[in-house]
């Protein structure tokens, strides 16, 4: 095992996929000689040639439309949207064609393609460079939506996404690109559609994904000072949803908090709360709560810290879970 960053793990996953399958093509804005804005495709064009990894015009709808045709023709395109909000011009292609072609053709055609989207905040970017758009994609039947929270998962999930017969929206948490951990390339981890318990606990379950997994783990460690033993579940797959792993955890602990960066109103966490409440109602000791971003357009860089969920906000929410039948204040 080698300690590498998430960006490096993604780069190695792309390289291995290109080596293992001649049908895999990588293209998008500046992914060629430059290696991408975040250098995830660094060196791939130099090592494999422009016929395998190449730049496209700055036209996201055209990038995805081209990828649809390539996938229909038997290739496995992996495209990059560069930034989350840059993907919106391609949204019609994704929802009307990428997600629906298998159903439209009654299974005669599939689209084995991956749309990589660097997403969420934490890098001090301006509004069109930081957004949490997961709910748009998870609300669209026909798409798989996954997001890694660790470098190991970045490698495993991207390899699985490229091998998938279905189109995959691959959300890469920008603020975690430089996080490091030892990574194995054996591909013997959890299946792409399964959640993982990152930390075991007995008092409350924190449900997180993508950029918030590390924050949830940090919160779990801090919670020991308050006397709470916190379990952390990393969803990994946002669609399909792993009800089995999540509900098993909540039934054990009896309490749950969902954490994500996106705005709370109509956010992905609302679906998680609904599913957990419906399936674990009789085991819950308190309502399932959420810690989310604010219901505002993404703020300027200097105000970003107020938008993003942090350890203190999560601990304050855990304190509201009706311990001893009455809400308490953390630290009291």
Enzyme catalytic residues: 129
Buried residues in 67-91 as b, exposed as e (16+ CB within 10 A) = bbebbeeebbbbbbbbbbbbbbbbb
Residue 5's contacts (CB-CB under 8 Å, 6 or more residues apart) are 151, 177, 178, 179, 180
Q: Which residues pair with 230 in a beta bridge?
A: 204
Among residues 72, 205, 82, 95, which one has the least CA distance to residue 145?
95
How far apart, in whole angstroms, are the C-alpha atoms of residue 24 and residue 18? Answer: 5
Identify the sign of the CA torsion 142, 6, 129, 310: positive
How far apart, in whole angstroms, are the C-alpha atoms of residue 8 and residue 12? Answer: 6
Name the helix (H) or strand (E) containing 204: strand 204-208
Q: Alpha carbon 218 to chain centroid distance?
A: 18
Angle of the 151-163 helix axis to the 6-20 helix axis, nearest 10: 30
């Amino acid at each position: 095992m080698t300690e590498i960053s998430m960006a490096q793990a993604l780069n190695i996953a792309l390289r291995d996929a290109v080596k293992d399958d001649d049908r895999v093509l990588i293209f998008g804005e500046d992914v060629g000689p430059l290696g991408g804005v975040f250098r995830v495709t660094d060196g791939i064009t130099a090592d494999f040639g422009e016929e395998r990894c190449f730049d496209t015009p700055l036209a996201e709808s055209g990038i995805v439309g081209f990828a649809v045709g390539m996938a229909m023709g038997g290739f496995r395109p992996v495209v990059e949207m560069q930034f989350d909000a840059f993907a919106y011009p391609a949204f019609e292609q994704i929802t009307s064609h990428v997600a629906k072609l298998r159903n439209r053709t009654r299974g005669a055609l599939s689209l084995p393609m991956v749309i990589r989207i660097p997403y969420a905040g934490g890098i001090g970017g301006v509004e069109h460079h930081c957004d949490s758009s997961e709910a748009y994609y998870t609300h669209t039947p026909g798409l798989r939506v996954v997001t890694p929270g660790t470098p190991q998962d970045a490698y495993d999930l991207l390899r699985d996404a490229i091998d998938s017969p279905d189109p995959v929206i691959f959300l890469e948490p920008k603020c975690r690109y430089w996080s490091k951990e030892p990574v194995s390339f054996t591909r013997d981890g959890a299946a792409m559609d399964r959640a993982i318990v990152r930390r075991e606990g007995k008092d409350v379950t924190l449900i997180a994904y993508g950029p918030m997994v590390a924050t949830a783990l940090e919160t779990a460690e801090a919670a020991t000072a308050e006397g709470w033993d916190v379990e952390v579940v990393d969803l990994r797959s946002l669609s399909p949803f792993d009800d089995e792993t999540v509900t098993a955890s909540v039934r054990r602990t009896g309490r749950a908090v969902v954490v994500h960066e996106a705005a709370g109103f109509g956010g992905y966490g609302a679906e998680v709360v609904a599913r957990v409440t419906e399936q674990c109602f009789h085991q819950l000791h308190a309502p399932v709560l959420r810690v989310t971003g604010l219901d505002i357009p993404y703020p300027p860089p200097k105000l970003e810290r107020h938008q993003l969920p942090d350890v203190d906000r999560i601990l304050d929410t855990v304190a509201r879970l009706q311990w001893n039948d009455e809400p308490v204040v953390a630290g009291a």
